[in-house]
């Protein structure tokens, strides 16, 4: 269904209402106001009023009682029933419990998305694909872990901000992701760097990765089996042609700028490369930039007669250019940031 901008709500939150309505057929106050969130009373009243209008226009099963919004009644779960009941009644209780649990899961996930969107001022005119919405809510309703609900909530808000950010393959991937898998991905994602559209983790110094960041070769195999990284190590080639004078690596708020210097021939850098699914997942936990790691990579090139400097990203432009401030030159001696 198509809900036009509702008075008093930002366009991103209006879009969230549309997506929820299209995905599960109804919306309610708890989706947009998390229990522990500090929501202003005025904002709550605006949301409730908007939902009432939506319910009346589209005949959604939303119940209004004493000024409050409820979606279907949610009595306390009677999971322990002592009186004798027949098998049909037991099946009914089981199904009701399952649906109430799914309802709470969806509410928790969409409330995460609402918080992610509350400071967003606009969203594209393009909307998330209908098949994507259906697949998302079909998977999200069975996500009970708070940690994984946070992940799914950020996926929903990210897709609203930029439709097409997360493929159906990525949804299926996350659906089978465990908490330990997510923790492993987050560990490795902190060191992700981009170069010419590829996202990699440079493995020029495996000992440094092990002692300073607790990252081991076995992590690569584990993530490769998940499908977020290519299963074998690769070598990226740099400065193959004399005309190539500079390469730039970006990691969150930091950049490593490497100039050819006195390099005579190509330099090969061993890397672990993220797959398309892995790159999409990195949008959920983008790296801040690890100074010590980038300095270590810079020294790798300096040892091969390049020059390198660390810089701070100031602004990304639509044409791909970056405005930055130089922080310092990198030399072969380890700096005070090396193990920070």
DSSP code per residue over 28-62: -HHHHS-TTS---HHHHHHHHHHHHHHHHHHT--E
Instruction: Give the pLDDT confidence score for residue 201 in this predicted structure.
Output: 97
Q: 173 pLDDT exceeds 80?
A: yes
Q: For the chain, what are the domain ranges? A: 11-176, 181-330
Neighbours of 31 (CB within 10 A): 24
By mean pLDDT, which of 42-56, 92-106, 170-184, 299-313 is the weakest? 42-56
How confident is the prediction for the chain on average, in pLDDT? 81
Question: How many C-alpha atoms does 116 have within 13 Å on its Cβ side?
Answer: 24
**CA gap 55, 173 in Å, rounded:** 34
Instruction: Give the pLDDT confidence score for residue 50 in this predicted structure.
Output: 62
Instruction: Compute the average pLDDT of residues 233-240.
Output: 94
Q: Is 221 exposed, middle or buried (0-12, 13-18, 19+ CB in 10 A)?
A: middle
Instruction: Give the pLDDT confidence score for residue 160 in this predicted structure.
Output: 94
The string of pLDDT tens digits covering residues 79-111 is 444 445 566 766 776 777 788 888 889 888 988
pTM of the model: 0.74
Instruction: Compute the average pLDDT of residues 290-301.
Output: 96
DSSP code per residue over 108-128: HHHHHHHHHHTT-----SS--
């Amino acid at each position: 269904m198509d809900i036009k901008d509702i008075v008093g709500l930002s366009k991103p939150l209006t879009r969230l209402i549309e997506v929820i309505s299209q995905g599960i057929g109804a919306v309610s106050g708890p989706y947009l106001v998390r229990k522990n969130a500090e929501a202003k009373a005025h904002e709550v009243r605006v949301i409730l009023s908007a939902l009432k209008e939506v319910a009346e226009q589209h005949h959604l099963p939303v119940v209004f009682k004493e000024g409050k919004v409820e979606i279907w009644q949610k009595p306390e779960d009677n999971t322990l029933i002592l009186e004798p009941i027949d098998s049909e009644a037991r099946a009914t209780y089981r199904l009701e419990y399952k649906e109430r649990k799914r309802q709470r899961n969806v509410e928790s996930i969409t409330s995460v998305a609402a918080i992610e969107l509350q400071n967003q001022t606009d969203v594209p005119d393009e909307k998330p694909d209908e098949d994507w919405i259906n697949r998302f809510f079909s998977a999200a309703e069975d996500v009970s872990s708070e940690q994984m609900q946070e992940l799914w909530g950020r996926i929903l808000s990210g897709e609203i901000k930029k439709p097409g950010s997360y493929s159906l393959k990525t949804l299926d991937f996350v659906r089978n992701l465990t908490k330990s898998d997510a923790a492993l991905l987050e560990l490795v994602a902190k060191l992700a760097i981009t170069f010419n559209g590829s996202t990699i983790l440079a493995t020029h110094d495996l000992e440094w990765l092990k002692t300073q960041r607790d990252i081991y070769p076995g992590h690569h195999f584990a993530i490769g089996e998940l499908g977020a990284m290519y299963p074998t190590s690769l070598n990226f080639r740099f400065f193959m042609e004399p005309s190539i004078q500079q390469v730039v690596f970006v990691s969150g708020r930091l950049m490593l700028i490497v100039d050819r210097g006195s390099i005579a021939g190509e330099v090969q850098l061993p890397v672990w490369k993220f797959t398309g699914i892995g790159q999409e997942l990195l949008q959920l936990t983008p790296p801040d930039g690890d100074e010590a790691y980038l300095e270590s990579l810079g020294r790798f090139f300096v040892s091969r007669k390049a020059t390198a400097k660390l810089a701070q990203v100031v602004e990304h432009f639509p044409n791909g250019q970056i405005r930055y401030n130089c922080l310092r030159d990198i030399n072969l001696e380890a700096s005070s940031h090396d193990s920070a």
